[in-house]
Structure formats: C-alpha cells, structure tokens
Amino acid sequence: MKKISDNINFAANNGLLDRRFILKAGLGIGGGLMSASALSSEGKDRLPWMKQPGMPMGQSGPSRYEEHIKREGVGSQPGTTGSGASRTPIEHLDGIITPSRLHFERHHSGIPDIDPAQHSLLIHGLVDRPLSFSMESLARYEHVSNIQFIECSGNSGAMISPKPLQRKASNLHGLVSCSEWGGVPLKILLDEAGIKPKGKWIVASGSDAAMMSRSVPLEKIMDDAIIATHQNGEPLRPSNGYPMRLFLPGWEGNACVKWLRTIKVTSGPSMTKDETSKYSDLRDDGIAELFTFPMGVKSVITSPSFSLNLAGPGIYQIKGIAWSGSGRIKNVELSADGGKTWAEALLDEHILPKALTRFRSAWKWDGAPATIMSRAIDEKGNIQPTREQWFVGRAKNTFYHFNAIQTWGVNTAGEVNNVYL
C-alpha cells in the first residue's frame, strides 16, 4: 500500500493539506482491502451476494444498510403531531442535491392530503382579471428548473444556546436542503392577470389547516419566483407542498408558502402572524426587523462533526456545504487551528447561484486536539461571521437567520464536539 509521504506541503497549520492533495491521497486507499468471504470453486473469491441472482427490479428504496439515514430531530409542538420540524441528515450526505425523502420539513398545521383535481391557484386582488389556474392548465405553461437551496430562517437557532449543545450537524443545522425545483415563473401568470399600478406586494396563502400566509414584495415575484410543481424531477412531495408551492430562490423558507392556493396582489404587506410575531429579528434595543428575506452566507463542516468520530491519526476528508441567498459561493476557507490559519477548500464543480455548494479538503490529523471550522464567502463579498460578530446588535434570545461559523473540536480520542471559541 502506498504510504503517505511525510514530506507533505501543508496549506495551513495543524494538518490542513493543499486542497488538491485530496486526489493524490485517494490513490493510496483501496488496494489493501481484504475479503473476509470464503473462497468459492477454483479458488476464486465470491461474496455471498455474488453467488445467486439478486432481488427483482421495480420499486426500491435505499439499501437496508443505510436505513439509519433518515430525517433527524423530528419534533412537534405540544398537543400537535404536524406543527414542528424535521431535519435533513446533512452529516450523512454528499454532493449538493438533497434526496426528496430527506428534505427538511417545517409545517404549521400538518401536511394536507390534497387532491390535485380539486386544487387551483387563484390570483386576485389588485389585478385586471382575477384568474384561476388548474394543475392541468399550469402544465402547459413555460416551465423552468433550477437547483437551489431552501433554508428555514430558524435553522441553526440552537446555536444561540449559551453553552454549546452536543448534537449532530443535522440537529443543529439541518433545516436546509437543496433540490432541483421545477415550475412556472409566477410573472407569466401575473402578467396574464394584469397587475394594477397600486399592486406592490402579494399575500400568498397555503391550503393547509393553518392557511399559512406570507407577504412578498412584487419585485421579487417578478424577478425569479416560481410556482414549483416539481422537486428533483418528480411531482412535489406532500411534505414539500404538493401539488404546488411558492418558491423564492435564496429567500427564507417560510415565505415559500407550501400547498399554495391563493395569491392576492396588494398595495402592501398584510402583516401576517408569521411575518411579525414569528420570523422577525429582534435587536438588543428592542426594535424588531421585519422582512429579512435573503438567507445569509453560510457553511458547515458536515464531516467530521458531532457523532462522526475519528478512528485514529491519519488522512481524513473534511467536507461540508456552503450556500448564500445572495448568489454563488466564491470560496470556502478552512481552519484546523481554531481560526489562526486558513486554507482554501476545494469546491465541487457545480457552483450554482443560491444552491448548496460542496466543499472538501484533505486533512492530516496528528492525534492532538484540533479545532476545525469553515468560513464561506459569496460572490457579493459577504463573509460568514463569527458567532461573536453575529450576536452584535441582536437580542439575546433571537435565533432567526443564524449564519455564524460552526466550530468542531476534536479531542485526543478522536471525539468531535460542538465548541464555541
């Protein structure tokens, strides 16, 4: 087996290797794998599943050996079963697409079981022609599809805890997912209805039992909002708004109203419960900010992370996800010494605007305590803040739009913990 040379060029202190090293390091792995199976006839190796035909084709889920990879932190408010959240198991995923069955959830009164034949999109308010669109008719309109993230603005809210909570990356930061969203640009439908000059906002309402509703400025709607009907190639899952949801690239998830039924064009915001009492950002001077729509630049190392401990000193892949509601990720920097020195991570090829971007780096862990962290920078020059910077000016217990740097501490036993610097 190829031995990793001791003469490695490090990109930053405490073992961070040049980001290109990951490719070279990979060459050394694999050749030494020894089969534990008994040899079959003629002295040739066949594992048990190579000795008879496999399962029939047709419907299939993940391997039974991967069934532990499921939505994490499923919880509902007291007295309810459908008012709460579940999280994407980001520590077990790779790439940038979130499988639909693992997309995070945040519902306010359960998941409605909607018959698409009885569902229409209704556009009314300050329009020349109030219109209804059936699912069938929407299918004939121009569709677009884009790979984009959606993040609940309450994501990472547990990070305001005064003491770091020892939870998996999913439980801390798993209210973010990324899908290929397909549907009809809402502008086309609003143009057909004809917006009156006084129309400046819309109020979107869902057909869940809470009729969850949000006001969105028309400027965003006419820019890149879509009526999403498809997610990762298939019709939306019920937990993501089947048969249709509002999708606002880069903006907080709550405004992307699921199970969308009505769009009322208005002169201003309706000031719904979910844009005033919730999803508002209280400052330390007692003033609260409404309509903080774009999600801030952010990154999280998903491996190593809490519960994914290191087996012993050696070469590891550090990997994670980065995203920004303002555009593309420009670069992600990694530190293994608590932020004293930084090295640039390798970004996977797909660096799309308002999408998750996968970053990686090789790391030679020498067995000593280490403090690893990632810092994302987007194409607009926004830099992911430190936890200390994030708190400046905010009320102590406000938790929306938390996008500060996540720090993981590795102890000599290889255990990974959530730590604050």
Partner 1 sequence: MFTSKITKIVVNILIILFVENIFADDVFDGVSPQLGVIISDDYIEQVDFVVMPSGEGLPKGSGNALTGKVLYNIHCMACHGPDAKGGINGDLAGGHGTISGPIPKKTVGSYWPYATIIFDYIRRAMPYQSPGTLSNNEVYALTAYILNLNGVIGEDELMTAQTLPKAKMTNSEGFIWAYSPSE
Query: Rounded to a whole number, what is the distance in angstroms from the first to the last CA of the chain?
Result: 39
Contact 283, 160 (CB under 8 A): no
Q: Using alpha carbons, select from 112, 117, 88 the residue that is nearest to residue 100.
A: 88
Quick one: 168 or 220, whose CB is closer to partner 1?
A: 220
Residue selected from 104, 259, 291, 399 as contacting partner 1 according to rule CB under 8 A = 291
210 binds partner 1 (CB under 8 A): yes
Tell the smallest beta-carbon distance from residue 312 to partner 1 (Å): 45
CB 305 within 8 A of CB 91: yes
39: contact with partner 1 by CB under 8 A: no
- My answer on whether omega of the bond before 249 falls inside 30° of 0, hence cis, is no
- Tell me: does residue 130 bind partner 1 (CB under 8 A): yes
CB of 256 to partner 1, least distance (A): 16
Among 37, 40, 137, 389, binds partner 1 (CB under 8 A): 137
CA distance linking residue 210 with residue 272, whole number of Å: 12
329 counts as binding partner 1 under rule CB under 8 A: no
Min. distance of Cβ 132 from partner 1 in angstroms?
5
From residue 24, alpha-carbon distances to 19, 29, 206, 401 in Å are: 10, 10, 51, 38
76 near partner 1, judged by CB under 8 A = no
Choices 31-39, 209-217, 233-241, 318-326; region in contact with partner 1 by CB under 8 A? 209-217
266 and 123 Cβ atoms separated by less than 8 Å:
no
324 touches partner 1 by CB under 8 A: no
How far apart are CB 225 and partner 1 at their closest, in Å? 15
Stretch that binds partner 1, among 20-28, 31-39, 41-49, 135-143 (CB under 8 A): 135-143
Task: Candidates 290, 368, 413, 421: give the one binding partner 1 (CB under 8 A).
Answer: 290
**Shortest Å, Cβ 265 to partner 1:** 10
d(CA 310, CA 101) in angstroms, rounded, equals 28
The 10 Å Cβ neighbour count of residue 40 is: 12
402: contact with partner 1 by CB under 8 A: no
The span from the CA of 28 to the CA of 228, in Å, is 45
3-state secondary structure of 186: helix
248-287: contacts with partner 1 (CB under 8 A): 261-262, 264, 266, 268, 270-273, 276-277, 280-282, 285-287
| Per-residue CA distances from 147 to 2, 228, 241 (Å) | 39, 12, 17
**Cis bond before residue 235 (omega within 30° of 0):** no
**Nearest alpha carbon to residue 326 among 275, 389, 280, 381:** 381
By CB under 8 A, the count of residues binding partner 1 is 64
Only segment of 162-170, 204-212, 316-324, 345-353 that touches partner 1 (CB under 8 A): 204-212
360 is a contact residue toward partner 1 (CB under 8 A): no
Tell me: does residue 219 bind partner 1 (CB under 8 A): yes
3-state secondary structure (DSSP) of residue 235:
strand
Nearer of residues 83 and 341 to partner 1, judged by Cβ: 83
192 binds partner 1 (CB under 8 A): yes
Cα radius of gyration (the chain) = 24
Least distance (Å) from partner 1 to the CB of residue 144? 10
Q: Is 174 exposed, middle or buried (0-12, 13-18, 19+ CB in 10 A)?
A: buried
Out of 288, 308, 351, 352, point to the residue binding partner 1 (CB under 8 A). 288
Minimal CA–CA distance to 271: which of 288, 284, 286?
Answer: 288
Residue 145 interacting with partner 1 (CB under 8 A): no
Within positions 171 to 190, which residues make up the interface with partner 1, using CB under 8 A?
Answer: 188-189
Nearer to partner 1, 8 or 135 (CB): 135
Identify the DSSP state of 211.
-
Q: Does 135 bind partner 1 (CB under 8 A)?
A: no
Point out which span in 99-107, 166-174, 197-205, 314-322 binds partner 1 (CB under 8 A).
197-205
Strand, helix or coil for residue 202: strand
CB 358 within 8 A of CB 321: yes
The answer to whether 75 contacts partner 1 (rule: CB under 8 A) is no
Q: Can you give the binding site for partner 1, defined by CB under 8 A? A: 77-80, 83, 108-109, 122-125, 129-134, 137-138, 140-142, 188-189, 191-193, 200, 203, 205, 209-213, 217, 219, 261-262, 264, 266, 268, 270-273, 276-277, 280-282, 285-293, 395-398
